[in-house]
Amino acid sequence: MNHRARLGFILVCILLDALGIGLIIPVLPRLIGTLTDSAGAQTWWYGAIMLSYGLMQFASAPILGALSDRIGRRPVLLGGILGLGIMFAVPAFIPSLPLILASRILGGALSANTAVAQAYIADITQGFQRAAYFGKIGAMYGVGFMVGPAIGGVLGQADPRLPFIAACVIALTNFLYGSFVLPESLSERESRPMNFRQNNPVSAIVQLFAMQPVRLSVVILILASLANGMLQCSWALYTEYRYGFTPFGIGLSIFALALFISISQGWLLPRIILKASRQRLIAASLAVSAVCLLGIALSAAAAVSVVLLCLYSISSIVSPIVSGEVSRLAPAEGQGIAIGAVNSLNSLTGSIAPLFSTPLLIFTSSAPQTLAAGMPFFACCALTAAGCALALTLRSAPQA
């Protein structure tokens, strides 16, 4: 399998993983509702399942990354895909809320193998080329999350279990294909021993902050990721309260955001990564995003807010740029855990974002036509602007 074919397989692998996850988004609340006897119980179970999924991604990313540093990328990547296929099958064939919760916990852990896919790419690419391919990984996720929910919604109309079956089939097909065509990318001389005391998420993040050249970049990523997580948690209710959006309108606007994120990461980033320093790229993208968030907070017009939401997508280039810089500075035998630590931080900020956005949505629900209604987006703007200010102090790295 040649170099380009291997890169292509990894990107297709990420696309199919995202497609499988996206398939179940529209029907998971409905499936839970068929197994509960009240709206309160449905909400509690849905919240527990979603929270556990994100927390397990946080906990598992550095562990899977370190495991791939030890035994190789191929077995961890394929094992994760196979495990996801099995976990998708559980809700379809075993109608039990505790087992569905358990399957999503394990599924969250296994879905953290994105760090392994990024480490695989780091093994076979050089320098700033990695950031471009990390951006393409994000683009594949965007495409998967655009197409997946649409297909899942159609299948779910017939039976809420059908999307889970489809996701299972996709994952197992991906596993079988990869088993035959995907070679190992890590040589024996580059592997290193597994140390669980050092490879847990807390230790991995501590090690990440010990990398002085990227410490400030990681702080900027945390601010940008937290703002993005708060936006994602707020958008549906915010647009419903302030603009009267229906589920169709909410879904269409999120589709547009995912489309523009895919364009930003998959098309724009590879074309600009070698033409400007990471300082300028991060600062410029966050400056544009902060202005867009401020505009959303102030705008009383739904169409204006949707346009600004699409322009906000430029901030999505920050994560692959920082991941690429971390990968460039990490040793060959430590790619998995270093990239896993970055992914853990992204998962953690996504998991805790509702703690900050939910109280601010009270202003939106209580006074949707006032300036105070924009409080969630004023907060997102402040976080993004802080990240932009820090980015202006970054030292430019040499283009390699």
**Is the predicted pLDDT of residue 264 greater than 50, yes or no?**
yes
pLDDT of residue 308: 97
Stretch among 163-172, 183-192, 219-228, 362-371 having the lowest mean pLDDT: 183-192
Residue 192 resides in a domain: no
Residue 221 resides in a domain: yes
- Distance, in Å, from the CA atom of 340 to the CA atom of 57, rounded to the nearest integer, reads 10
Contact 108, 63 (CB under 8 A): no
> Which sign does the torsion angle of CA 358, 360, 366, 370 carry?
negative
- Distance, in Å, from the CA atom of 41 to the CA atom of 29, rounded to the nearest integer, reads 11
- Distance, in Å, from the CA atom of 289 to the CA atom of 280, rounded to the nearest integer, reads 14
Residue 187 resides in a domain: no
HEC profile of 345-375: HHHHHHHHHHHHHHHHHHHHHHCCCCHHHHH
What's the total number of domains in the chain?
A: 1
**Is the predicted pLDDT of residue 125 greater than 60, yes or no?**
yes
Residue 189 resides in a domain: no
User: Tell me: the pLDDT tens digits for 127-182?
Assistant: 667 788 888 888 888 888 788 877 887 888 888 888 889 888 988 988 998 888 88
DSSP string, 81-118: HHHHHHHHHHHHH---HHHHHHHHHHHHHHHTTHHHHH
Buried b (16+ CB within 10 A) or exposed e, 207-235: bbeebeebeebbbbbbbbbbbbbbbebbb
User: Tell me: the pLDDT tens digits for 4-26?
Assistant: 778 888 888 788 777 777 777 67
Contact 318, 28 (CB under 8 A): no
User: Tell me: the pLDDT tens digits for 271-289?
Assistant: 888 788 888 999 999 999 9
Tell me, what DSSP letter sits at residue 186?
A: S
> Which sign does the torsion angle of CA 289, 294, 295, 296 carry?
positive
**Is the predicted pLDDT of residue 400 greater than 60, yes or no?**
no
Token pair 């499988």 is found at: 20
Span 320-332, average pLDDT: 82
**Is the predicted pLDDT of residue 92 greater than 80, yes or no?**
yes
pLDDT-based confidence at residue 91 (cuts at 50, 70, 90):
confident
pLDDT of residue 399: 47
Residue 185 resides in a domain: no
Span 242-265, average pLDDT: 86
pLDDT of residue 396: 57
pLDDT of residue 312: 96
Smallest CA-to-CA distance from 340 within 111, 88, 85, 145 is with 111
Range(s) of the domain holding residue 111? 3-180+198-391
Residue 151 resides in a domain: yes
69 membership: H or E segment, kind and range = helix 39-71
**Is the predicted pLDDT of residue 398 greater than 60, yes or no?**
no
**Is the predicted pLDDT of residue 297 greater than 80, yes or no?**
yes
pLDDT of residue 296: 96
For 146, residues 6+ apart whose C-beta sits below 8 A from its C-beta are 22, 255, 258, 259, 262
Residue 188 resides in a domain: no
> Residue 75 sits in a domain of what CATH number?
1.20.1250.20
DSSP string, 235-302: HHHHHHHHH---HHHHHHHHHHHHHHHHHIIIIIHHHHTTTS-HHHHHHHHHHHHHHHHHHHHH---H
Residue 252 resides in a domain: yes
pLDDT of residue 213: 82
- Distance, in Å, from the CA atom of 101 to the CA atom of 75, rounded to the nearest integer, reads 26
Better-scored residue on pLDDT, 174 or 306: 306
Span 229-244, average pLDDT: 86
Please give the model's pTM, rounded to 2 decimal places: 0.75
**Is the predicted pLDDT of residue 333 greater than 80, yes or no?**
no
